[in-house]
Amino acid sequence: MPANAFPTSAEYLRFLPEIILTLGGVVIMLLEAVFTNDDQRKIFGPLSIVALFAALLASISAAGDPGAAFSNMLVIDGFASFFRALVIGIGVLAILGSTGYLRQERMPGGEYHALILFSILGQCVMVSANELIMIFIGLEISSIASYVLAGYLRDDPRNNESALKYFLLGSFATAFLLYGVAWIYGLTGSTNLDQIRGALQTSAAPLVMAGAAAAFMFVGFGFKISAAPFQIWAPDVYQGAPAPVSGFLSVGPKAAAFAILLRVFMTAFGPIADRWEPMVWGCALATMMVGNFAALQQSNIKRMLAYSSIAHAGYVLVAVTAHSETGSAAAMFYLAAYAFTNLGAFAVVTYFSRKGEKYVAIDDFAGLSQRQPAMAAMLTIFLLSLIGVPLTAGFFGKFYIFKAALDANLTWLTVLGLLNSAVAAYYYLRLLVVMYFKDPGDSVENLEPAGLSLQIAVYASAFGTLLLGIFPGWVLDIATKSALK
Amino acid sequence: MDALLFMIFAAIAVVCGINLVVQTHPISSALSLVGVMGALAALYLLLGGEFIAAAQLVVYAGAIMVLFIFVIMLLNAGTEARGRRSWAHYAGVPLLLLLFGLIACLITRRMPASENVVFGQFTKGGPLDIGRALFTTYLLPFEVTSVLILVAILGAIVLARKEID
């Protein structure tokens, strides 16, 4: 029997955030069965936020003692800790943003919160995994929870369509990922990322086959980050899913998928970087173009934000193409900036669309600034950050990414990316114009003030967006310290 | 001998796989799937994966297929109605063949002959070795899989619950 058969207490401490999240989810499931009236069920939201904060503390303390855990299945380095904290923070904002929505749509709360916690658990496993098997299991936990969340309002046909499309296409993409894993195992005899790297560096294994395996795995990851040409699902799913869930899906699973994309391609496939770089280059460009040009034609705000989310995935792919330390740090910063911005934007959309999500057309936002000036101002901040205007998080995100791309001699990709972000400004500004300069229609007539938890979510996101935009240094420092080499 | 058996079972798996897709009645498709799984079990056995072969038969060909067929019967699913075929229908087959051709070319051209599978070389596929790996090195994935199953159950309950109150 191997000596390391029994995990040490240090290894359990490194895995503590995941344990806390699992316990939180299970406790909520049990309480759901015990609690019968609505007043008791109000506890689920605060309870899951407590669980998330406990997990956040655990992951911060785990960051102080980096190392591997459970026979190298996990590696808790700075990179893993950064993304763990990010997805847990996303979870807190997502839950704050959905409390009012749950009440308004009379959705049962127990399973919803349990699913969010499990989804974040899966993302935490993904970002700290050092083994393709762990990556797959984490990805599946996160994905299955996401599929169900997308169809949570069972009686709404839009939700059904969204969940079914997400599930079928997602399973198909996962099959590609597994096929790639099988190839890599056949080539190198290992599923451990460090060992794969070692095998690809030294052995005479045919590198063209390793490149093909990397391409298969990129299909799987590319689906999760909605990179073109695997982006078809995103608009339909984001449009059909409940608005707070769309917000969560557009940042949480995406950030985790980018984390493993970076880790797998920079660690395991690092030695064959010159083979996959052209592929990711093309994908990054296609993703930016498809996202931005399709977003121009949308009349539904959720669809527009979905295409915008595709375009932003393209910008992060530019950083992945650079596959340098600065590129990795830039991607980390961008994902954090994008998380605050997009969660905030979706929280405002959640608030504005009201019961049954009646008001989701862009024209419905006419005159919002006169009825709800505070909310309109917050949405303005988020849109400016999505454009990348200075003093918002989006500006420094784009700045670092294009700087990293220039450092890696990706001049053409940088130029095309900058042109793309100029195109993007048009559709974000159009929404601002509608909001501020059009006469209010009847859609804003009976708009009630937002609930407390939604307001907290919106203001916290706006605070984060501005904080990263005015003082980007401290997050960038953390990202640079913990970036992949 | 081993190579011949491999060819036979591989052919069965591929033919059943194609049949699974082209059949219009769900029961016929399900029965083809049994054929695929049985043939795969034989392939695993040839490669030395005794435990996997047994699990494949017991779990997939046995338990899961029975569930499949129960569900098909409960839903009383009839023959699938075929709608108008889109261009994707016609483009799909040649593109798939192209992909398989590329993969086959890659494997036959680029894979060094020394890396070929030797039947009987791998001997660690028994329950003892699997169990040891599962509870030492792969303890964490094994345990975390239980959360995956829990999430799947929770999801099924959410989507199939009788009414939302």
The confidence score (pLDDT) of residue A188 equals: 86
- Is A15's CB within 8 Å of B157's CB? no
Q: A285 to chain B nearest CA, in Å?
A: 24
- Is B141's CB within 8 Å of A108's CB? no
The residue of A31, A71, A113, A127 whose CB has the most chain B CBs within 10 angstroms, and thus the best one to mutate to test that interface, is A71
- Is B164's CB within 8 Å of A106's CB? yes
Please give the DSSP secondary-structure letter assigned to residue A439. P
Report percent pLDDT > 70 for chain B: 95
pLDDT of B6 over the 80 cut: yes
pLDDT of B164 over the 60 cut: no
Q: Which residue has the tokens 């936002």?
A: A365
Specify the 3-state DSSP secondary structure of B127: helix
Q: Please give the residue that has the higher pLDDT: either B81 or A452.
A: A452
CATH number for B1-83 (one of 1.25.10.10, 3.90.950.20, 1.20.120.1200, 3.40.50.2300): it is 1.20.120.1200
Mean pLDDT computed over A218-238: 93
Q: What is the DSSP string of A11-41?
A: HHHHTHHHHHHHHHHHHHHHHHHH--SHHHH
CA–CA distance, A409 with A177 (Å, rounded to integer): 30
The confidence score (pLDDT) of residue B85 equals: 73
Q: From its phi and psi, is residue A388 left (phi > 0), alpha (psi between -120 and 50) or beta?
A: left
Specify the 3-state DSSP secondary structure of A192: strand
CA–CA distance, A83 with A101 (Å, rounded to integer): 27
Domain definitions of chain B by residue range? 1-83, 124-165
Chain A 245-284, residues with CB within 8 Å of chain B CB atoms: none
The confidence score (pLDDT) of residue B115 equals: 63
CA–CA distance, A417 with A433 (Å, rounded to integer): 25
pLDDT 10s digits, B44-58: 999 888 999 999 999
CA–CA distance, B144 with B71 (Å, rounded to integer): 28
pLDDT confidence band for B19 (50 / 70 / 90) = very high
Question: A155 to chain B: which residues are within 8 Å by CB?
Answer: 164
Q: What is the DSSP string of A451-479?
A: PHHHHHHHHHHHHHHHHHHH-THHHHHHH
Q: From its phi and psi, is residue A98 left (phi > 0), alpha (psi between -120 and 50) or beta?
A: alpha
Cβ burial A401-424 (10 Å sphere, 16+ → b, else e) = bbbbbeebebeebbebbeebbebb
CA–CA distance, A78 with B156 (Å, rounded to integer): 36
Count of Cβ atoms closer than 10 Å to residue B33 Cβ: 20
pLDDT of B160 over the 90 cut: no
pLDDT confidence band for B113 (50 / 70 / 90) = low
The confidence score (pLDDT) of residue A1 equals: 44
pLDDT confidence band for B163 (50 / 70 / 90) = low
Pick from B140, B151, B158: CB nearest A134: B140
pLDDT 10s digits, A294-307: 999 999 999 999 99
pLDDT 10s digits, A416-430: 999 999 999 999 999
pLDDT 10s digits, A253-304: 999 999 999 999 999 998 888 889 999 999 999 999 999 999 999 999 999 9
